[in-house]
């Protein structure tokens, strides 16, 4: 699956850039290095830089910027931290990348109501640092220190999703600049509403193709009284998956259940200086009262022992837990170090948890048959797992083998009632899978929404679907 081919610049681009320069001054850049930074650089997809990069600071500036681009038929590509994995920030049709690097204000924290309003350039790390002294935290944790705007755009989730949900559960309301330059506000601070269409959920996960998010109202949570993290090896991947499945089916309120296969464990040992047994392993975390955490840990221990898992290595000190989860978040870079000169091609699928063990086992067999090096990690508490094939750039045979493997992986997940992506999104990389997953009528409905909100197709064109 290839990225959308680059197109020549819009004919009215010079006029648009002149107007944007008057609006933003030196906060508009056409520097080659700045433009290059604001294109895909994380995965193997071709980097396609924009014609210019804008650094607005307010919703009103974004609205004026988008109106100028709309008037001149110039594409608009929202940009957060640039950590997305399916080419979301590429500019295949040129245009203006709208960076949120200067939109980093935490507008309000309403501690009594457990919510906050932030600009899109605020990172999850910065938000949690701000909330720490209030006894609150924002739980969505995709690994990278992504921006809240980017996480909203891709409907991100992460290690805490099994307990706290994903961005669709965390976002209460949005301020969005539409393709016309109009400012739309959706949702609000109320915990529920039956007032009209749910435009907030429409925008969450739209990957910048329907508008530019400029403020997000978020649901927060109180910091748990006690936290315990644990590592448990298993004799087989099926046993590890079955332990996760049984934990969820029995109602065990784990906050995190993460799977690493033996290859990934070895990579983490080398990269993060761990000393784990080289076996399929679950990383777990439990939140609650001291008594509740102890009970949850003991109950999972029983499940693991019944499946041949153990011994446990539990960590209750904050520094030990941080080291463990940092190793998990560094899994991609740890995997990349397994093959000098190779580049990871991160991909993900999600299946119903009852099919998780089957899907992972079949995928491991497929990896072996294909001759690829492809460690597996996963948020297995919700049936989502990632493969990290390592491919040498320019190696045609490896590239072909990787593309064929990803196609089989997605087909396998869909056949089991799953989805082509649990959290990475569609972007450019998985556009071909929307039709087999959703069917023609659903895609027609998506295109109708796109045409209604973005009739000129200037909002992040070349992503998700062809209008």
Buried b (16+ CB within 10 A) or exposed e, 101-135: bebbeeeebeeeeebbbbbbbbbbebbbebbeeee
Q: What pLDDT band is residue 2 in, cutting at 50, 70 and 90?
A: very low
pLDDT category of residue 6 using cuts at 50, 70 and 90: low
Please report the pLDDT score of residue 45 as a whole number.
80
Q: Does 61 score more than 90 pLDDT?
A: yes
Domain limits, the chain: 106-222, 226-333, 335-415
Share of the chain above pLDDT 70, in %: 97
CB count in 10 Å sphere of residue 90: 28
What is the mean predicted confidence (pLDDT) over 335-345?
90
**pLDDT at 413 exceeding the cut of 70:** yes
> For position 315, what pLDDT does the model report?
76
Q: What percent of the chain has pLDDT over 90?
A: 80
Write the CA distances from 25 to 88, 303, 464, integer angstroms. 27, 62, 33
Measured CA to CA, the distance from residue 364 to residue 360 in angstroms comes to 6
Mean pLDDT of 159-168: 91
Q: What average pLDDT is seen over the chain?
A: 93
User: How large is the average pLDDT for residues 11-29?
Assistant: 96
Q: Can you give the pLDDT at residue 221?
A: 97
Task: Determine the average pLDDT of the residues in 406-422.
Answer: 97
Q: Which of 146, 156, 3, 172 is nearest to 79 (CA)?
A: 146
Tell me if the bond preceding 311 is cis, omega within 30° of 0: yes
On whether the 106-222 domain is CATH 3.30.465.10, my answer is yes
Burial per residue of 225-260, b for 16 or more beta-carbon CB atoms within 10 angstroms, e otherwise: eebbbbbbbbebbbbbbbbbbbbbeeebebbbbbbb
pLDDT score, position 145: 86
Residue 1 banded pLDDT, cuts 50, 70, 90: very low
pTM: 0.92
Looking at 259-340, list the stretches that DSSP marks H as alpha helix, in order from N- to C-terminal side.
262-272, 290-306, 318-329, 331-336
Indicate the fold that domain 226-333 takes in CATH.
Alpha-Beta Plaits (3.30.70)
**Per-residue pLDDT reduced to its tens digit, 444-466:** 999 999 999 999 999 999 999 88
Same fold? 106-222, 226-333: no
How confident is the model over 363-398, as pLDDT tens digits?
Answer: 999 999 999 999 999 888 889 999 999 999 889 999
pLDDT, tens only, 289-321: 999 998 998 899 999 999 999 888 887 778 888
Average pLDDT over every residue of 118-125: 97
How many Å apart are CA 90 and CA 40, to the nearest integer? 5
So what's the pLDDT on residue 99?
98
Mean pLDDT of 12-39: 96
Q: pLDDT-derived band of residue 41, with 50, 70 and 90 as boundaries?
A: low
How do residues 187-243 score in pLDDT, each as one tens digit? 999 888 999 999 999 999 999 999 999 999 999 999 999 998 889 999 999 999 999
What is the rounded distance in angstroms from the CA atom of residue 368 to the CA atom of residue 15? 55
Q: What is the pLDDT of residue 225?
A: 93
CATH number of 335-415: 3.30.70.2740
């Amino acid at each position: 699956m290839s990225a959308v081919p680059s197109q020549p610049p819009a004919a009215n681009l010079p006029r648009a850039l002149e107007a944007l320069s008057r609006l933003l001054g030196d906060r508009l850049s056409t520097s080659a290095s700045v433009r290059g930074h604001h294109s895909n650089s994380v995965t193997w997809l071709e980097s396609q830089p924009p014609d210019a990069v804008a650094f607005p600071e307010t919703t009103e500036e974004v609205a004026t910027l988008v109106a100028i681009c709309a008037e001149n038929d110039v594409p608009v590509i929202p940009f957060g931290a640039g950590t997305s994995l399916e080419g979301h920030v590429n500019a295949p049709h040129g245009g203006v990348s709208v960076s949120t690097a200067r939109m980093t204000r935490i507008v309000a924290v309403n501690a009594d109501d457990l919510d906050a309003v932030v600009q899109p350039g605020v990172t999850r790390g910065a938000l949690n640092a701000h909330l720490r002294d209030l006894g609150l935290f924002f739980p969505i944790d995709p690994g990278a220190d992504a921006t809240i705007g980017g996480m909203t755009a891709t409907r991100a989730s992460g290690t805490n999703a099994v307990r706290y949900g994903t961005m669709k559960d965390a976002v209460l309301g949005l301020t969005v600049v539409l393709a016309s330059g109009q400012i739309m506000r959706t949702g609000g601070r109320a915990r529920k509403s039956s007032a009209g269409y749910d435009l907030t959920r429409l925008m969450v996960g739209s990957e910048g193709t329907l508008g530019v998010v400029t403020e997000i109202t978020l649901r927060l949570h109180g910091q748990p009284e006690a936290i315990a993290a644990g590592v448990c090896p298993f004799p087989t991947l099926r046993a590890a998956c079955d332990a996760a499945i049984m934990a969820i089916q029995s109602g065990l309120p784990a906050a995190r259940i993460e799977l690493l296969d033996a290859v990934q464990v070895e990579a983490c040992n080398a990269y993060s200086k761990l000393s784990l047994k080289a076996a399929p392993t679950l990383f777990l975390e439990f939140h609650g009262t001291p008594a509740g955490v102890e009970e949850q840990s003991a109950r999972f221990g029983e499940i693991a022992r019944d499946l041949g898992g153990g011994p446990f290595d539990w960590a209750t000190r904050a520094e030990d837990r941080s080291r463990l989860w940092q190793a998990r978040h560094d899994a991609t870079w740890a995997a990349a170090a397994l093959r000098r000169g190779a580049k990871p091609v991160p991909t993900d699928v999600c299946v119903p948890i009852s099919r998780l063990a089957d899907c992972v086992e079949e995928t491991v067999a497929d990896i072996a048959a294909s001759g690829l090096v492809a460690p597996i990690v996963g948020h297995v508490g919700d049936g989502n797992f990632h493969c990290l094939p390592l491919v040498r750039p320019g190696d045609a045979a490896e590239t072909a083998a990787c593309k064929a493997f990803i196609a089989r992986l997605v087909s396998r997940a869909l056949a089991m009632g799953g989805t082509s992506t649990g959290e990475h999104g569609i972007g450019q990389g998985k556009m071909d899978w929307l039709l087999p997953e959703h069917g023609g009528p659903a895609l027609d409905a998506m295109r109708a929404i796109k045409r209604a909100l973005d009739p000129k197709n200037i909002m992040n064109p070349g992503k998700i679907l062809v209008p």
